[in-house]
Amino acid sequence: MAPVSRVGPRRGVTTLLALLLALVAAAAGAVAMPEQPDEVRWLCRPDLPADPCRGDLGTTVYGAGQPPEVVRPAAAERAVDCFYVYPTVSTELAYSASREITPPLQFIAEQQAQRFSEVCDVYAPVYRQRTLLALRSPGSPEQARAAAELAFADVARAWEQYLANDNRGRGIVLIGHSQGTRMLRQLIRERIEPDPAVNARLVSAVLAGGNVVVPRGADVGGDFRTVPLCRERAQTHCVLAWSIFGAEPPADARYGTTPTTPEATPRPYGPGYEVACVNPAAPGSTEQVPLHTLLRTGAAPQALNVVLPTPATPWLRPAQRYRGQCAHIGTAHVLLAEPEPGAPPLPPVPDPGWGLHVVDLTLPLGDAVATVAAQIGAYQRR
């Protein structure tokens, strides 16, 4: 498959919509859960009978010139919780999504959050996010701001219910991607940092593809007052944040570049700030290191540019491997991914300004889970 060429924003988002529709096709037959009587609706939580954030984690590992090996993670005590907020995946024909549990929500939870169930109990609220249609037709700034407020209200309500009814003093890992990361940035600023008791229970935050902002050259400030970037694998109460590109980002890239204007929700911006990059495979390092890619069987995002086998296990690690390092390139600060020998180059999807946004969590998923496991271990030993 040839790399995707640079296109205008409307056509580019149409391409992204087509990609995500293709990604969720495998889940087309899923049945929505019945409505819950209260205002909070859960996509994932440990007591749900059908939970896309839990499942068989058996993995077939492929290597060049080697027979495939099946690996099954050992059962472990899950002593902390993960609070996951999914990215923009709703294909509903509206500006803001409903609270219906649709196949795209179930699919993305399986691909992004299910692996974390190896180390934590996963809670994931349904929220009325801005849809893919809203990306294509963004509307007025006022409409975008109102939609962001609606989405955050759902996430914040679920968070408060989780704290009141489910947390029981356990440590918490936040996990988000894209719009989900934007929701969690606001949650940390407005609901977690102002509450010392809850802030103390924050094990870490995995905030991929959502432009976490820090003062240039600093680890704390910008988005957060008390939660710094992670600089060691077992560091706790810190943030892992990155946006992946396979080539130099353009000056107007959507992710990774220094913000010059505020979002629908306020954030720091201007030349004194930069977008954070912490490599989940090697927090604190700028060296190029191998990335541990994990994929749901049958789900090969267009950005990976590969045809994958179909093993008997629900998960696979492809033979095609990549290496990543955080790098400053012009005004951008991104996780730059390069193929190892035998792996194809990574084309941007839907255009160079998005980079490899679709696989921000997928490409280093194994690393993110391993780092969170180390952080949980350190938190328990405190």
pLDDT of 3 higher than 80: no
Q: What is the pLDDT of residues 230-240, one digit of tens each?
A: 999 999 999 99
Beta strands in 126-233 (DSSP E): 172-177, 202-208, 213-215
**Residue that wins the pLDDT comparison between 163 and 14:** 163
pLDDT of 16 higher than 80: no
Q: What is the pLDDT of residues 189-228, one digit of tens each?
A: 999 999 999 999 999 999 999 999 999 999 999 999 999 9
For position 370, what pLDDT does the model report?
97
The model's confidence at residue 77, banded by pLDDT at 50, 70 and 90, is: confident
Q: Does residue 3 lie within any of the structural domains?
A: no
Task: Enumerate residues 6+ apart whose C-beta is below 8 A from 380.
Answer: 79, 80, 171
Q: Does residue 82 lie within any of the structural domains?
A: yes
pLDDT of 245 higher than 70: yes
- 284 near 232, Cβ under 8 Å? yes
Structural domain containing residue 351: 9-381
Q: How many residues does the chain have?
A: 382
Q: Does residue 322 lie within any of the structural domains?
A: yes
Which tokens in the block code for residue 33?
């859960």
Percent of the chain residues topping a pLDDT of 70: 87
Which tokens in the block code for residue 336?
């730059």
Q: Does residue 315 lie within any of the structural domains?
A: yes
Q: Does residue 289 lie within any of the structural domains?
A: yes
Whole-angstrom distance, CA of residue 104 vs CA of residue 92: 10
Q: How many domains does the chain have?
A: 1
Mean per-residue pLDDT, 91-118? 96
Q: Does residue 264 lie within any of the structural domains?
A: yes
Q: For residue 367, give the nearest of 248, 233, 271, 246 by alpha carbon.
A: 233
The model's confidence at residue 263, banded by pLDDT at 50, 70 and 90, is: low
Task: Enumerate residues 6+ apart whose C-beta is below 8 A from 25.
Answer: none
- 104 near 111, Cβ under 8 Å? no
Q: Which residues pair with 82 in a beta bridge?
A: 122, 173
For position 174, what pLDDT does the model report?
98
- The one-character DSSP state at 256 is S
For position 67, what pLDDT does the model report?
92
Mean per-residue pLDDT, 312-327? 96
Give the CA-trace dihedral at 63, 207, 332, 269, to 10 degrees. Answer: 180
For position 300, what pLDDT does the model report?
65
Q: What is the pLDDT of residues 113-143, one digit of tens each?
A: 999 999 999 999 999 999 999 988 888 989 9
Q: What is the pLDDT of residues 273-290, one digit of tens each?
A: 999 999 999 999 999 999
Average model confidence (pLDDT) across the chain: 88
What angle do helix axes 179-187 and 141-165 make, rounded to 10 degrees?
Answer: 60
Scan for tokens 């030993």, then name that residue.
381
Helix (H, G, I), strand (E, B) or coil at 296: strand
The model's confidence at residue 264, banded by pLDDT at 50, 70 and 90, is: low
Q: Does residue 2 lie within any of the structural domains?
A: no
Peptide bond into 350 cis (omega under 30): yes
Per the rule left: phi > 0, alpha: psi between -120 and 50, beta: everything else, 62 is beta
Cα four-point dihedral sign 279, 282, 284, 285: negative
Helix (H, G, I), strand (E, B) or coil at 122: strand
Q: Does residue 1 lie within any of the structural domains?
A: no
pLDDT of 14 higher than 50: no
pLDDT of 145 higher than 60: yes
For position 258, what pLDDT does the model report?
80
**Residue that wins the pLDDT comparison between 266 and 113:** 113
Instruction: Give backbone dihedrals phi and psi of 333, rounded to 5 degrees, phi first.
Output: -135, 105
Whole-angstrom distance, CA of residue 277 vs CA of residue 326: 6
Which tokens in the block code for residue 30?
């899923």
